[in-house]
Structure 1
């Protein structure tokens, strides 16, 4: 269907996004070398595949390392369960070679039980003064083990403890997770499903000072999973799932996020990226589904200095291969870092710079 930008079309099942195409840019020529969910997921999250067990840090971890932790909420939060392919975690969501201190602080939203943060609230019998004494005792114990402080495991443990302590004791931090503070009409606008409320929570986290928030659509690639809203791996029932569930939910929640950020004056300073590990095959298989397709797929970027109302790159007439301006996930990473004000030279010094380059058409 047509959009409010002449020459740009999107699926007819995305009517709300179609009406605000001037606010985002589409990259239509993304590609990389693998069609395996796990490897492709790592490439999408970090800009490159793991080599000999060496996993690069995710974009969020890089932001946490370079931008620091400005609030009790930390510098990198992930909303949703860790990504999996089958029973295997997909590498690349955390600190990688930077270590555990740069893993995301994970939050989950459940439509029945609400926001879930494990061990955030201390037992009622633990007063703030008693909590302070416990922390002082732990600090004393840690000082006796300073010779171990260089061990990555110890550092990760200490960083996690410090972060949890700040959350337990900061009323302002805990308030960010209270979605019931939002008007019912706004919560309805985002959608009362997992992805919708996760996007609303992401906005509250950014508003609370978190520099980087990652929202996972689901914890698993499969479209028929029991937990979450189901993944996008639709080798069968593709059209049924997209029409009945995925696309209207994506349209509702992503458009609500962009609209909400714009109305609050936050969109110009907040980069929004919507992308997956690869696309789906142009050819329909014998199960009325679409298979993995890493040769050419799309991503959406909005806000944060991105010039909206344009499509960067294009595919050939069959949608199989890039026809103009090929873009890689590493290029997306480089562009994200640029919008965050992270200099490539500083990433090179840490040996974590992606191989890609800034997509100049976007900025």
Structure 2
């Protein structure tokens, strides 16, 4: 029993230990002075009040011990109590400064839950974080990067930086990936595109091994690595170079197509494109029937997604299945 208590005490943070010792000293001396001098300290609370103002060097003088024994105990409280109080305040200030420094340097483990994790810092990461803050202001975002010297975020409780490589389980553990909502892996800036894709796939494998349920979206630059990213467990693959080339190609013949696609994906634009699970009452209905029911919900169905396949403008007689999702245009968020 004693050994268990000692082990429990050893696991308690130093500041909590100090606070416990201070409270024990104050209540003990308060009880002793209340018992020794009930006339000078009519109630236990009066004795506690005196002990607090004495140990913090305030000393109002409204309650004072009268007897020699009481004054001896008061001197002991002044010598020990003030020392412990000052030590506690000094350590509290030091711990606050240290924690802020660790937060800025990216060495403080995260306590976020339901947050987005984004791997690697670049212009896409910055824009992604800005979009998340505008669309979901209450969502926390955590950045993992091993090139940054300190956090690019300032004075934000919903943004945190963890320094390290996202390919390491220890770094993902500090990012609290098992409590995260999703992991987004952007391509690093170092090396060639092939090297960046290899790093992305290694990050995918590490994340899926450590937290198999985490939803992952990975940016892949080269078409050769798309199958490997799927095998690595990517739930969503963003072929950024392919998307850019498609937009540039179509923009040559269809002016305004790039702007249209951008507006459909903009979280602040209306209407916007989104994917929704199939409503239970729509399962088994044809796409034509869904098209008649959807306007009452303020949405316009444009496609069906399921089994790693997306079909835009499907056949009107296509029957919606339980495991499928609808791609819709919605007028308001």
The two structures have a TM-score, normalised by structure 1, of 0.25
> Which structure carries more relative contact order (alpha carbon 8 Å, separation 6+)?
1
Q: Name the structure with the higher helix share.
A: 2
The two structures have a TM-score, normalised by structure 2, of 0.27
The higher radius of gyration belongs to 2
